[in-house]
Amino acid sequence: MNTFKKVCLFCSFTALLSGCATQRQFVSLPETVQKEITSTDAYVEDCKKEMQADVKSSNISTYVGGGLIPALIDCAVVDYRQDRANEAMVDIQKEIQSFDFNKNFTDKLMNTLQNTVWLKVAYIHSINQLDDKSIRALVNKTKSDSLLTAKLRYRLNPEFTVLTGTLYVELYPISPKIQKLVNCEDPLKTPIFKVNVSASASLPQVGEDIEDNAKLWAERHGTYLRSSLENICREILIRLEQTLKNPNHLPEED
């Protein structure tokens, strides 16, 4: 990788980190808006069969007060750690491909959303991919008052000792009536409700490094990985139900 690419990668990584730090995990639904919702279209993304991993950041440039060379060293360290994590996860990725927990989870999630009275779900469907482009297309297509999207991601911590699943749920204003209530210009930039619901599972025993821990997750055809993912999905649904009962709690910024 050449120097320019490394610098760009480092800048992106730094921007990503700062974005993560400021990302809001909960946006409170105002009661006045909740009362006005008469219909919602809901889309649930098919579970991705891909494990992700966090890597520890390198902070040499912070320690020494910045500069290009420390930034390049940081970049190289993070790059190395990411490559190492990806290599260590090869067996985990193979095992995940053989799991089929998607349908069960999606069915239960759809059930939870349909049973949430205030959402007034008119239409619910699973979708292959939920990203900005596809959500914008759904916004243009939807005729209901609001649009709900839900997607599940799971990742290992930098030591590979904890697996965390997070369900990202967002509700966007669609009808002119709802958009007017929240002074919305772009629905994608103004979710009227948002919650990230997480659950985790820890390795019962811990190895010496990430390679050892990756083996522990993947051993016996991923038995522990499989049961952990099932437990995580079950716990997420319990927590989601609890949150959907009280969508208008304190706003995140308080």
Contact status: 33 vs another protein (CB under 8 A): yes
Q: What distance in Å separates the CA atoms of residue 168 and residue 200, rounded to the nearest whole number? A: 15
Task: Return the residue of 7, 9, 30, 84 that touches another protein, per CB under 8 A.
Answer: 30
Residues 116-155 contacting another protein, CB under 8 A: none
Q: Nearer to another protein by C-beta: 127 or 158?
A: 158
Task: Return the residue of 39, 86, 164, 175 that touches another protein, per CB under 8 A.
Answer: 164
Minimum Å gap between C-beta 250 and another protein is 5
Distances (CA, A) of 198 to 25, 113, 134, 167: 10, 17, 24, 6
Residues 217-236, one symbol each (x = binds another protein by CB under 8 A, - = not), give ------------------x-
Contact status: 112 vs another protein (CB under 8 A): no
Contact status: 196 vs another protein (CB under 8 A): yes
Part of the chain binding another protein (CB under 8 A), chosen from 89-97, 106-114, 199-207, 214-222: 199-207
Contact status: 242 vs another protein (CB under 8 A): yes
Minimum Å gap between C-beta 36 and another protein is 11
Q: What distance in Å separates the CA atoms of residue 94 and residue 222, rounded to the nearest whole number? A: 9
Residues 40-69, one symbol each (x = binds another protein by CB under 8 A, - = not), give -----------------x-x--xxxxx---
Part of the chain binding another protein (CB under 8 A), chosen from 45-53, 117-125, 137-145, 246-254: 246-254
Q: Which backbone phi and psi does 209 adopt, to 5 degrees?
A: -145, -175
Q: Nearer to another protein by C-beta: 192 or 225?
A: 192
Contact status: 189 vs another protein (CB under 8 A): no
Got the DSSP string for the chain? --HHHHHHHHHHHHHHHHHHHH--SEEPPPHHHHHH---EEEEEEPPP---EE------HHHHTT--HHHHHHHHHHHHHHHHHHHHHTHHHHHHHHT---HHHHHHHHHHHHHT-GGG-EEEEEEES--SHHHHHHHHHH--SSEEEEEEEEEEE-TTS-EEEEEEEEEEEE-SHHHHHHTT-S-GGG--SEEEEEEEEEE-SS--SSHHHHHHHHHHHHHHHHHHHHHHHHHHHHHHHHHHHH-TTS--TT-
Minimum Å gap between C-beta 55 and another protein is 12
Number of residues that bind another protein (CB under 8 A): 41
Q: What distance in Å separates the CA atoms of residue 234 and residue 44, rounded to the nearest whole number? A: 16
Minimum Å gap between C-beta 181 and another protein is 6
Q: List residues near another protein by CB under 8 A.
A: 21, 25-26, 30, 32-33, 57, 59, 62-66, 157-158, 161-162, 164, 181-183, 190, 192, 195-196, 198-200, 202, 235, 238-239, 242-243, 245-246, 249-251, 253-254
